[in-house]
Amino acid sequence: KNPAGAPPAELARPVQKVGVVGAGLMAGQLAMVYAQQLKVPVVMTDIDQERVDRGVGHVHAQVDKLAARGKLSAEAGEQLKALVTGSVSKDVYADADFVIEAVFEEMGVKKTVLAELEQIVSPECILATNTSSLSVTEMASGLEHPERLLGFHFFNPVAVMPLVEIVRGPQTTEEVLATAFATAKGLGKTAVLVHDAAAFVVNRILLRMMGEVQHSFDSGTDAEVADEALAPMALPMTPFTLLAMVGIPVAQHVTESLNAAFGDERFPVSTNLQHLIDAQVSSIWAPGGPGDDDRKVIPAKTL
Ligand code: 3HC
């Protein structure tokens, strides 16, 4: 059955080459899932060679991990690795069919990247944004061809989380939308068409809960205590473990978008998390992160 809001599947165009702009953690996960599921070449780009190499290296390491666990044959692993390459030049997207950006969560940065892409890609190429919270309508407003833009929002960890939120821009065509639904299906994901509102649906709801947890942190509850207290509550992951996985700056950016849209009462921005970001502490858990037996928790009010 066609998902609600999806145009007829026959309108979908083939996707034979994919671009992922950005080579950070989320971008690497996206590149991996596109190459693994669609079996098409995926090119990652970033602003310098070091970032590109790190991004591609992250994907290759993921492939090696799967192969070591017997989930992929050595041959399939090598084929998958060969599909994921990197470049510092977006010119590699001249013959791409679907380019998704996963760069820094800031409107100005996203708009600049999309404008650059428009100068390179073919008229049929779809441009997608993996934004967690920003307005697709506003991103489209800066484009010469807004009809080819849409939101295509994944969840971390991309390999496991089954959902993609598809966000239609004001001028997105039926063909573009149909291709997005077909791509999500090819990736093995469930796609839902959501309204272009701050943080869409999932993050808006999730951040309401996480906001309360962070408020509790700001008031002096240690992260470890909050996690221990909530561990038996049948959440898939305890709140601070989730925060560590998603990344504090990402969570804070999403909260800021929600705060701008809905105000302090519903979405207060955490002062403690901002302190951690300012001090360049990237995780509540240190060192090692979630799952590390020697992990240490940064207590509230220490910075
Ligand atoms: N990458 C790849 N695969 C992973 C993974 C990762 N980071 N983490 C777990 N897996 C795989 C495991 O290998 C395992 O696969 P297998 O069954 O084939 O061996 C499978 O997932 C299950 O893993 P676990 O046995 O460790 O199972 P858990 O029961 O602990 O589940 C989880 C792991 C699915 C990540 C679960 O903890 C979960 O759902 N957590 C919540 C995640 C969440 O809420 N994400 C959304 C965050 S918000 C967001 O991303 C939006 C953005 O805009 C900010």
- Cα of 155 to ligand 1 centre, how many Å? 10
243 Cβ below 6 A of ligand 1 = no
Q: What is the pLDDT of residue 299?
A: 55
User: Residue 303: pLDDT band by 50, 70, 90 thresholds?
Assistant: very low
Is the ipTM higher than 0.90? The answer is yes
- Cα of 251 to ligand 1 centre, how many Å? 17
Q: What is the pLDDT of residue 2?
A: 81
Q: What is the C-alpha to C-alpha distance for residues 168 and 196, in angstroms, rounded to an integer?
A: 7
- Cα of 291 to ligand 1 centre, how many Å? 12
Cis peptide before 287 (omega within 30 of 0): yes
Give the residue whose CA is nearest to atom 28 of ligand 1. 236
Both tokens of 104, joined, read 């820094």
Pocket test residue of 64, 160, 187, 192 for ligand 1, highest count of atoms within 8 A of CB: 160
Q: How many residues does the chain have?
A: 303
98 Cβ below 6 A of ligand 1 = no
277 Cβ below 6 A of ligand 1 = no
- Of the chain, the percentage scoring pLDDT greater than 70 comes to 93
Whether residue 204 contacts residue 198, with contact meaning beta carbons closer than 8 Å, is answered with yes
- Cα of 58 to ligand 1 centre, how many Å? 17
**CA angle at residue 87 from 84 to 90, to 5 degrees?**
110
User: Residue 74: pLDDT band by 50, 70, 90 thresholds?
Assistant: very high
Q: What is the pLDDT of residue 301?
A: 52
> Which atom of ligand 1 is least distant from the CA of 29?
1
Active site residues: 153
What class has domain 202-297? mainly alpha
Whether residue 100 contacts residue 129, with contact meaning beta carbons closer than 8 Å, is answered with yes
160 Cβ below 6 A of ligand 1 = yes
CATH superfamily, with its number, for domain 9-194:
NAD(P)-binding Rossmann-like Domain (3.40.50.720)
pTM given for the model: 0.93
Domain positions in the chain: 9-194, 202-297
